């Protein structure tokens, strides 16, 4: 019984990480679209690029956590 609860807990933790990763991907895509469509003031372009880079780096770290959090054999 305890083993089953642990599996459910791990799956919930994975779902949370995946949700955060997906939300961040959506944010990155939206920021990039705004940059491409020139919908940002010239004075803010570098700020947006820096923000995109920062979020992308953080998302890469999050993706690595997802990959190592739960081995494939424990997912099902």
Domain map (residue ranges) of the chain: 2-74
- Dihedral sign computed on CA atoms, order 37, 20, 57, 54: positive
- Reported as a single tens digit per residue, the pLDDT across 7-26 is 778 788 888 999 999 999 99
Cα–Cα distance, 63 to 66 (Å, whole number): 5
Query: What pLDDT is attached to residue 50?
Result: 94
Count of CB atoms within 10 A of residue 24's CB? 17
pTM: 0.74
Taking 70 as the pLDDT cut, the residues of the chain under it are 1-2, 70-76
């Amino acid at each position: 019984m305890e083993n089953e609860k642990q599996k459910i807990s791990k799956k919930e933790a994975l779902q949370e990480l995946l949700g955060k990763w997906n939300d961040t991907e959506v944010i990155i895509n939206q920021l990039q679209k705004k940059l491409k469509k020139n919908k940002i003031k010239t004075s803010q372009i570098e700020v947006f690029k820096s923000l995109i880079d920062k979020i992308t780096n953080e998302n890469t770290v999050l993706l690595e956590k997802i990959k190592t959090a739960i081995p494939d054999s424990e997912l099902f």
